[in-house]
Amino acid sequence: MELTWWAEHTIEAKGFTFTSVPCQHWSRRGVFDTNKSLWTSWVVSAPRHRVFFSGDTGYCPVFEEIGRRFGPFDLALIPIGAYCPRWFMQPAHIDVGEAVQVHLDIGAKRSIGMHWGTFILTDEPIMEPPERLLYDSITHSMAR
């Protein structure tokens, strides 16, 4: 099933609706078609729950709109990783602070950080995302 941004497909028998929503990443399927196809995130709605799956994305203001249109979410799956150096990776990959901002923008009750620790792709240490997230959350709670 191919969908454009903001389009949805419902599986009636199961009560699930899948909505393709914008995100930010480059795409390519062949040699001469860079950025000719959409990169998408997903909203999965069920009768009693709503999940946001960001896929692989950089931070962009559309997350606020996704939160307004579909939030709050019971669960969000947000990528954290492959983000250094920022001057190069920022358009395509989220760092820890941006992942927290996505969580807030979409109104997630709970979030799971993904896309880290798979393989060494960029300059940050492979275990930095969860360590930094833990450190930042401890530091933030102590500051209150």
Residue 89 sits in a domain whose CATH number is: 3.60.15.10
CB atoms within 10 A of CB 1: 7
Q: Is the Cα torsion angle 144, 136, 24, 74 positive or negative in sign?
A: negative
Please give the sequence-ordered ranges of beta strands (E in DSSP) within the chain, or none if there are none.
8-11, 16-22, 40-45, 50-53, 75-79, 111-114
pLDDT in tens, 103-122: 999 999 999 999 888 888 88
Least confident window among 15-19, 50-54, 72-76, 127-131? 127-131
Kindly tell me if the per-residue pLDDT of 142 is higher than 80. no
Residue 40 and residue 5 in contact, taking contact as beta carbons nearer than 8 Å? yes
Give the pair of three-digit tokens for residue 20.
């393709």
Residue 93 and residue 58 in contact, taking contact as beta carbons nearer than 8 Å? yes
Does residue 2 sit within a domain?
no
What's residue 38's pLDDT? 82
Does residue 82 sit within a domain?
yes
Does residue 134 sit within a domain?
yes
- Residue 49, domain extent: 8-143
**Closest Cα partner for 81 from 135, 49, 117?**
117
Number of domains in the chain: 1
What's residue 21's pLDDT? 97
Considering only residues 119 and 87, tell me which one the structure prediction assigns the higher pLDDT: 87
Greatest mean pLDDT range, 49-58, 81-90, 116-125, 127-136: 49-58
Q: Which residues contact 63 (CB under 8 A, 6 or more apart)?
A: 101, 102, 105, 106
Please, is 23 exposed, middle or buried when counting C-beta atoms within 10 Å of its C-beta (0-12, 13-18, 19+)? Answer: buried
CA Rg value for the chain: 16
Pairwise CA distance, residues 63 & 90, whole Å:
15
pLDDT in tens, 32-65: 877 777 889 999 999 999 999 999 999 999 999 9
Q: Against a cut of 0.85, is the pTM above it?
A: yes
What's residue 13's pLDDT? 81
What's residue 31's pLDDT? 87
Between helix 96-106 and helix 62-70 the angle, nearest 10°, is 30
